[in-house]
Structure 1
Amino acid sequence: MNDTAAPLPSSAQRVADLLAGMGHDKPVVMLPSTGRTSAEAAAAVGCSVAEIAKSIIFRRMADDAPVLVIASGANRVDEAKVTALVGPLGKADARFVRDNTGYAIGGVCPVGHVVKPVMLIDRDLFNYDSVWAAAGHPHAVFNLTAAQLQEMTGGAVSDVRLDAAPTAA
């Protein structure tokens, strides 16, 4: 990890400024390689994949609103559970993600969106002392607690995890 005085990319600097304005005391950290996947980010920061707070954007069909699910990196999101909470969903392409969040896929931060998303937070994130979230750039992350994440975003804490299929006996 690189948290030295090297300048941050503009999108990560915007997140750092936003976090500082919220009183968050942890820095935005630049990873030596991409953190586009939960496994890559976890390896770079030295935590478990489950401690990565990954951002997944959907498009709500009823009103074209962005829906941001912040899930534990170890979990797959159950679209049926999310649909039950917010209404029918569609896929969000790269342009929809950038236009509505201000971030590219792989760097979508939980805060600072162009359009305020409907937001759900995976309750499993509360099982960890801290989690790492994207900070506006595929190589940028920041550390926080799940409680801080909920406070910063106002997201509803929900069961969004796709449960494993039962195994045949």
Structure 2
Amino acid sequence: MAEMVRQKTKTYDLVYISIFVVLIAICSWISIPLTVPVTLQTFGVFMAVGLLGGKRGTLAVLVYILMGTLGIPVFSGFTGGIGIIAGTTGGYIVGFLFSALLMWGMEKAFGRSTAVLALSMVLGLVLCYAVGTLWFMAVYGASSGAIGILTVLGWCVFPFIIPDVAKIVLALILTRRLSGVIQR
């Protein structure tokens, strides 16, 4: 009987992870046409970890990144491949994994209260920005010459802060409303 329960749990885990890999991909394809187009990738990452918990949510993010790296067009603009990861904005995609890991760590250390989840999402976003910005500076600097941090922040971070905060708020609301639906 215990073996059947474990097998059922593993099946649920695989299904949930797969669903959220697809959700993150769909979110990456949705582009909101503002001055700088905004996608919903970070929203998908926050939802995955928020609803699935740290372990399964982080696995969903990792599988999403691996699929895109292998060339499956799951990234923004229906793109994929190692060239996207190796490009100037690839660090922000890699940053999704660091965000998920940070959220998982905070969940393990401090629990799953709304306050902890909100703080972990904000800190995860900051970590994603940091990884992505450093990556951008390194890749851009190698191909086009040195670039200042304020210039990169102006291109890659500042225009996204308000939309990303809105995504965090929406992810928190939906996570709290849907948390009873997902089996833990």
For normalisation by structure 2, the TM-score amounts to: 0.27
Comparing both chains, which one has the higher relative contact order based on Cα–Cα distances under 8 Å and sequence gaps of 6 or more? 1
Question: Which protein shows a greater Rg?
Answer: 2
Structure having the larger proportion of residues in helix: 2
